[in-house]
Amino acid sequence: MPTGKGVRLTLVEEAATRQQANGDLGVTRRAWIQLTDIEAATFRSISAEYVTALVGYLSFARGASIPLTGLQVLYDGKWLSVTFQGMESGNDDTAARHDVLLPLRVTGLQAVGNFVDVYRTVGPAVPITQDALSNQRRATLDTQVLELTTVAEGLHRDLYPTQERIPKQEAKRIRALVADALKDETNPRYKEIVIGTVLGFLEEPNYKSRLKQLIDEVADAMPGLCGNQDEWIKRAAEARNSYAHRKRGFIDESKIDEMYVISQALKWLFWAVILLKSDVPPHTLRERITQHQPYQHLLAHAGQAVPAIYS
């Protein structure tokens, strides 16, 4: 299955029988993804462009962050095992015991190849979402809220770079009108603040409209994810502005449940948007997520803890 750059992905499987301690025969199965037709490149670039993307996809498919446990490269006709910082032993079967959200039989290998292509576009959104899926971060809740609300803006900008709030020519005309109104202002710094800083991004979508489009994208795949959409967007925007501009210190105790639910909803929002861009059908995500207990527990908790959004 080729990616957009022509690199071919192949699923390789291997089964073997072994004698168990009680005398019975057991079957072990190994599976890995093989990349071929890669142009000459350094291992660092291959790791950054493909290996990290594939580990990200596998984490998305598991619904939980999983580590890289094995890697081999073909060099001079020989398969060489590669180890580096961040790899973990493959002996732990935690991942195998975890409910698989998106088995390969459901999505097909094409979704994996598409994900590799999307990964190049969305930058840090994949590893940050992968990290959030672990639910084991040591960062404080306000740090997570700030990080995820900030990533939402970048994710939208990466996926919809040409979207405009108003046409560029109209924005240019308005800036010219304001410049003309300030022609008698003697301090050039004030002109620069108004025309350059205040009106410099006039044509770009605002934060709330970015959130709305991301939520609209996943509406069919993730029904109920953000509850009352307008209220959810309002509170997510307030949280982002508050922490980005440090209008408050630590999270007020009365806001802890709300901030937790918003951060968790953002995690699943990114998960769905990126997978949909990888051509995983909305109905597939909807069918799988409705059987995923952690997600259903989140919605149940949200309904009890933040009824103003999830009544």
The whole-number pLDDT of residue 44 equals 83
Q: 143 lies in which domain range? A: 8-162+205-305
Please list the residues that pair with 30 across neighbouring strands: 14
- Tell me how crowded residue 304 is: count the other CB atoms within 10 A of its CB: 9
In a domain, 141, yes or no: yes
Sole residue written with tokens 């992968």: 130
Confidence label for 166 from pLDDT (cuts 50, 70 and 90): low
Domain boundary among 198, 215, 244: 198
The whole-number pLDDT of residue 95 equals 47
DSSP-assigned letter for residue 62 = H
pLDDT over 70 (residue 282):
yes
Percent of the chain's residues with pLDDT above 90: 43
- Asked which of 49-63, 66-80, 199-213 is least confident by mean pLDDT, the reply is 199-213
Rounded to 5, what percent of the chain is helix, strand, coil? 55, 10, 35
- Are both 177 and 229 inside the same structural domain? no
- Are both 30 and 138 inside the same structural domain? yes
The whole-number pLDDT of residue 139 equals 80
DSSP H stretches of helix in the chain: 43-46, 52-62, 94-97, 104-107, 109-122, 125-133, 141-159, 168-181, 188-191, 207-217, 229-244, 256-277, 282-289, 293-305
Report d(CA 251, CA 81) in Å as an integer: 46
Instruction: Give the residue, 165 or 154, on which the prediction is more confident.
Output: 154
- Are both 91 and 192 inside the same structural domain? no
In a domain, 275, yes or no: yes
The whole-number pLDDT of residue 196 equals 66
Mean pLDDT of 106-119: 93
Q: How many helices (H) and strands (E) in the chain?
A: 14, 4
- Tell me how crowded residue 176 is: count the other CB atoms within 10 A of its CB: 11
Helix 52-62 and helix 256-277: axis angle, to 10°? 120
Q: What is the mean pLDDT of the chain?
A: 84
Confidence label for 112 from pLDDT (cuts 50, 70 and 90): very high
Instruction: Give the residue, 142 or 18, on which the prediction is more confident.
Output: 142
Mean pLDDT of 268-278: 97
- Are both 249 and 188 inside the same structural domain? no
The whole-number pLDDT of residue 283 equals 97
Amino acid at 18: R
pLDDT over 50 (residue 243):
yes
Total structural domains in the chain? 2
Backbone conformation region of residue 224, classed left if phi is above 0, alpha if psi is from -120 to 50, else beta: left
- Are both 186 and 241 inside the same structural domain? no
Mean pLDDT of 128-154: 88
Instruction: Give the residue, 261 or 23, on which the prediction is more confident.
Output: 261
pLDDT over 60 (residue 96):
no
Read off the pTM. Answer: 0.83
Report d(CA 58, CA 100) in Å as an integer: 10
pLDDT over 50 (residue 218):
yes
Mean pLDDT of 71-76: 85
- Are both 96 and 234 inside the same structural domain? yes
Q: How far is CA 18 from CA 15, 25, 26, 27, 93, in A?
A: 10, 6, 5, 6, 18
pLDDT over 80 (residue 10):
yes
Instruction: Give me the half-sphere count of Cα atoms (radius 13 Å) on the Cβ side of residue 141.
Output: 16
- Are both 79 and 184 inside the same structural domain? no
DSSP-assigned letter for residue 14 = E
Residue 305 CB burial class (10 angstroms; 0-12, 13-18, ≥19): middle
- Are both 34 and 154 inside the same structural domain? yes
Instruction: Give the residue, 180 or 300, on which the prediction is more confident.
Output: 300
The whole-number pLDDT of residue 281 equals 96
pLDDT over 70 (residue 171):
no
pLDDT over 90 (residue 126):
yes
Confidence label for 134 from pLDDT (cuts 50, 70 and 90): confident
DSSP-assigned letter for residue 264 = H
The whole-number pLDDT of residue 246 equals 61
Contact partners, residue 256, CB within 8 Å, separation at least 6? 141
Mean pLDDT of 6-11: 86
The whole-number pLDDT of residue 98 equals 52
Confidence label for 202 from pLDDT (cuts 50, 70 and 90): low
Residues 182 and 195: beta-carbon distance below 8 Å: yes
Mean pLDDT of 77-88: 81
- Are both 62 and 20 inside the same structural domain? yes
DSSP-assigned letter for residue 192 = I
- Are both 110 and 183 inside the same structural domain? no
